[in-house]
Amino acid sequence: MIQQETALDSATHGIVLDGRRTLSVTGVTDVERFDEQSVVLVTTAGVLMICGEELHISRLSLETGELGVEGRIDRLIYAEEHSAAGFWSRLFR
């Protein structure tokens, strides 16, 4: 059986940060949650948490795996996808 490859299957994960105000992320498979202080994404490289202030999602396409965030970006934190629950429980204790 031949399986067709989608654009997302072949998408590699990448980040472009411009002046700590604009962030572009590729390889995004899901957005778990977001508010003005954080955005939690599932990417092809694991779970990514974006922390800052006045954050908002300016662009999102799960079909192509692209996401844009604007605001003041302070931190980018990765966790392996398989250990994400343990990571978040330790982070928010």
pLDDT single digits (tens) 17-66: 999 999 999 999 999 999 999 999 999 999 999 999 999 999 999 999 99
CATH of domain 14-91: 2.60.40.2000
The domains of the chain are located at 14-91
Residues 1-30 as b/e (b if ≥16 CB within 10 A, e otherwise) read eeeeeeebeebebeeeeeeeeebebbbbee
Q: Residue 45 is which amino acid?
A: A
Residue 85 confidence (pLDDT) above 50: yes
What pTM, to 2 d.p., does this model score?
A: 0.76
Tell me what pLDDT residue 90 has. 55
* Rounded distance between C-alpha atoms, residue 81 and residue 74, angstroms: 22
Residue 5 confidence (pLDDT) above 50: no
Q: How confident is the model at residue 79 (pLDDT cuts 50, 70, 90)?
A: confident
